[in-house]
Amino acid sequence: MSVAKNESEEQHRGDNSLKILLIEDDPDDVYLVSKMLEDDSLQSYSIYNVSSISDSLVTLRQHQIDLILLDLGLADTRGTDTIKALSQIPEKPPFVVFTGVNNEALGHHAITLGAEDYIPKAEANSAMLSRSIRYAIERHKLLEKIRLQAVTDALTGLPNRKAIFERLDVLIANAERNPSPLAVAMIDLDNFKQVNDQLGHHAGDDLLQEISNRLKQSLRKADMCGRLGGDEFVLIYNHYTTTEELQNALDSKIEKLRVPVTLPDSSLPTLDITLSIGVAEWEAGLTPHLLLQRADKAMYHSKHHGKDGLTFFSELKEPE
């Protein structure tokens, strides 16, 4: 079944159809899956067929795929190597293994490698396939919700400390394979304790939420902002070219952050915002902990030298 034909069907079916990416290189099995899903009276489907993992990348970029049906016997990959190849694709949708190999041990292994389900083609029918697809999508949504709760700061909605370290782990691993610029900026709100003490914790929470909203604005997809805890935030920058470009990006962000904050409670005063910021650029051998430690040291230098300033770790003369 061609992609062009399925796009036409999708227009007729409307937005309620589930978009399935079928990675299968046997035309007979493509037809088999299509007929099975056509027989589902409860749900309509739009099927996009490609014959290899590499070909799936284009479809995943062009369409909001709900689920991948994966055959393990492709021309370029076979068995669990196919799953491992699929696992290299970031932010992919859930996938179900749909294969001609009927092997319970292989099925169990597929699940441990990330598959939501394992269906031997010889045992499949319309009801089984449809049910597996729906359950896989719902289970994936639930697990993703749980995962997001674990890495999201409850007050601000920003990535939390755990998420920051996970992101840095990935970026540093990439930088070690492919050297590229990477920097973290640690941001501390000056005099935040006075806001809590004088105006109350509800005012402090409102201030943190406003600063969080400003941090998220105009942030490139490749970059990240997060809350370490208290009044400390982190910006992670990568894919910049020079330190001057990084400085310009930080200056632009700082200008937005320093705009006075009017709190939701109109009885409270407008707050002037000053920030102490420390920046550290990654060097070979630095772990996430050491990189953040350098940014923290630079931030405390800013705080103890007049506040409301930005310091690069590279500017510090004292040893680590």
Sign for the CA dihedral angle at 41, 47, 52, 54 comes to negative
Q: Which two tokens stand for residue 128?
A: 């089984």
Q: Residue 135 is encoded by which pair of tokens? A: 């359950």
Q: Which residues pair with 261 in a beta bridge?
A: 271
> Which conformational region is residue 19 in: left (phi greater than 0), alpha (psi within -120 to 50 degrees), or beta?
beta
Residues labelled as active-site residues? 231
Q: How confident is the model at residue 288 (pLDDT cuts 50, 70, 90)?
A: very high
User: Per mean pLDDT, which range of 16-25, 72-81, 171-180, 278-287 is the poorest?
Assistant: 72-81
Pairing of strands 67-70, 224-229: unpaired
Euclidean distance between CA atoms 8 and 16, whole angstroms: 14
What percent of the chain is predicted at pLDDT more than 90? 66
In the chain, helix, strand, coil percent, each to 5?
A: 50, 20, 30
Question: Residues spanned by CATH 3.30.70.270 within the chain?
Answer: 161-315
Q: Which CATH number fits domain 3-149: 2.30.22.10, 3.40.50.2300, 3.90.550.10, 3.40.50.300?
A: 3.40.50.2300
More confident residue, 2 or 157: 157
pLDDT at 3: 37
> Bridge partners of 189?
275
Give start-end residues of each CATH 3.40.50.2300 domain in the chain.
Answer: 3-149
Nearest to 98 by CA among 117, 126, 111: 117
Instruction: Please tell me the predicted confidence (pLDDT) of residue 222.
Output: 83
Q: Which amino acid is at 10?
A: E
Instruction: Identify the pLDDT of residue 100.
Output: 80
- The domain defined by 161-315 carries CATH number 3.30.70.270: yes
Name the band, by pLDDT with cuts 50, 70 and 90, for residue 44.
very high
- The backbone torsions φ and ψ at residue 6, rounded to the nearest 5 degrees and listed phi first, read -70, -35
Give the residue with greater pLDDT, 9 vs 256: 256
CA–CA–CA angle 79, 28, 23 (5° rounding): 45
Tell me the pLDDT band of 12, cut-offs 50, 70 and 90.
very low
The whole-number pLDDT of residue 283 equals 94
pLDDT reported for residue 15:
61
Quote the radius of gyration of the chain (alpha carbons, Å): 25
